[in-house]
Amino acid sequence: MEQKDKPILLDVDGLSVSFATDRGPVRAVSDVSFRVHEGEILSIVGESGSGKSVTLLSLLGLHDRKTTQVQGAVSFRGQHLLDLPASRMRAIRGKEIGLISQDPMTALTPVYTIGWQIAEQIRAHEAISARAARKRAIELLGEVGLSNPGEAVDRYPHQLSGGMRQRAVIAMALSCNPALLVADEPTTALDVTVQAQVLDLILRLRKDFGSAIILITHDMGVVAEVADEVAVMYAGRIVERGRTEQLFSAPMHPYTWGLMASIPPLSGARLPRLRSIPGMPPTPETIPPGCGFAPRCAFVQPACAEPPPLHRAGDQAALCIIDDTERPALRRAALPLEETP
Ligand SMILES: Nc1ncnc2c1ncn2[C@@H]1O[C@H](COP(=O)(O)OP(=O)(O)OP(=O)(O)O)[C@@H](O)[C@H]1O
Ligand SMILES: [Mg+2]
């Protein structure tokens, strides 16, 4: 229950990612730090373009090494991932870390059938025959909701629809019972009916094998339900992180308030209309100096032109100038729903 008792599986410290462009390097991810404890679920939330996928792909070595500069330290089971050669990283990805990427083609090889790819993954960590691995691949494809898995198993990735490919990737990620599953929007491409089923499969990994999970999702309802820990990203930074219960009951950052104000309430009083955060998130080229959220923040002050301090409250922390004495009143103004019984 207490996360402090659980060993740290993944420790990301000061991760920054820059891309080389015609106009020089642009930084998409800045000084991101988080930890995943064994058997726990960390959810990363934030608007489109906030750097969620770039963070995960670069710590897994899936960035283009020619055009991308990755700084910081990433430790997984005592191994420093950023220092490993690509071949070693590939072996870890197939075996100890499963990836359900937002773009299924990142995980699939076009030149082999999906059945072969799943079976190979199983055989990389289990001493079973090719025949048994194929049988297991067909079972997995059925479990992720592919109709006629016995036929799909012999198809190449390009012969599947987008949704089918996504399911094949999920089957592959589940096949190795990874210590860590990284799931980047694993259900968005799927039908609503299959979404819940796939989420259940992912959660079963933790139940059956004690796998830890990093789950990127736009669905705050899912976050509240399944995550142990939440990291909120904005403009390439984690602007707030904390234990789920604490973060949902007393969010600290105005951006988190905005995200929560835009969740439709499940029951009780409804807002006359769903609020949204005015304005658009910046691109890496247009992130302002100082606080990246300042241009959209209802509580902006002159000091926000400088980099914001990190405020802590127990396990929770937020990058924001608002201090502990003024925060509750501002939060009540931002989140009037809090008042409803
Ligand atoms: N190879 C690249 N070269 C230049 N810029 C890139 C590259 N890859 C990503 N970016 C930029 O980095 C920013 C962060 O992208 P990222 O894919 O991490 O967003 P995200 O938070 O995953 O968004 P979404 O919710 O839409 O998936 C975006 O502005 C994107 O355009
Ligand atoms: Mg993404």
Spans of all domains in the chain: 1-88+217-341
**Residue indicated by tokens 């220092």:** 83
Give residue for tokens 């100082």: 290
Encode pLDDT of 117-133 as tens digits.
999 888 887 889 999 99
Mean of pLDDT over the chain: 89
- From 32, 54, 99, 233, the mutation candidate for ligand 1 (largest count of ligand atoms within 8 A of CB) is 54
Nearest CA to ligand 1 atom 1: 19
Q: Which residue's CA is the closest to the ligand 1 atom numbered 24? A: 48
Report the distance separating Cα 299 and Cα 234, nearest Å: 16
pLDDT tens column, 178-198: 999 999 988 877 777 778 888
**Ligand 1 atom with least separation from CA of 47:** 25
User: With a 6 A CB cut-off, is 24 part of the ligand 1 pocket?
Assistant: no
pLDDT at 278: 87
Ligand 1 pocket member 28 (CB < 6 A): yes
Long-range contacts of 71-74 (CB under 8 A, 24+ apart): 71/14, 71/15, 71/16, 71/17, 72/12, 72/13, 72/14, 72/15, 72/16, 72/31, 72/32, 72/33, 73/11, 73/12, 73/13, 73/14, 73/15, 74/10, 74/11, 74/12, 74/13, 74/15
* Consecutive H or E run containing 195: helix 192-209
pLDDT in tens, 163-182: 888 889 989 988 888 999 99
Nearest-CA residue for ligand 1 atom 12 is: 28
Q: How far is the CA of 54 from the centre of ligand 1 (A)?
A: 6
Distance 40 CA to ligand 2 centre (A): 21
How are beta strands 212-216 and 229-234 bridged, if at all? unpaired
C-beta 178 within 6 A of ligand 1:
no
Ligand 1 pocket, residue 102 CB under 6 Å: yes
pLDDT value at residue 161 = 86
- The model's confidence at residue 4, banded by pLDDT at 50, 70 and 90, is low
Is the beta carbon of 63 within 6 A of some atom in ligand 1? no
CATH topology of domain 1-88+217-341: Rossmann fold (3.40.50)
Q: Please tell me the number of the ligand nearest to residue 63's CA.
A: 1
Res 340 pLDDT > 50: no
Residue 327: its H or E element: helix 327-334
- 50 CB within 6 A, ligand 1: yes
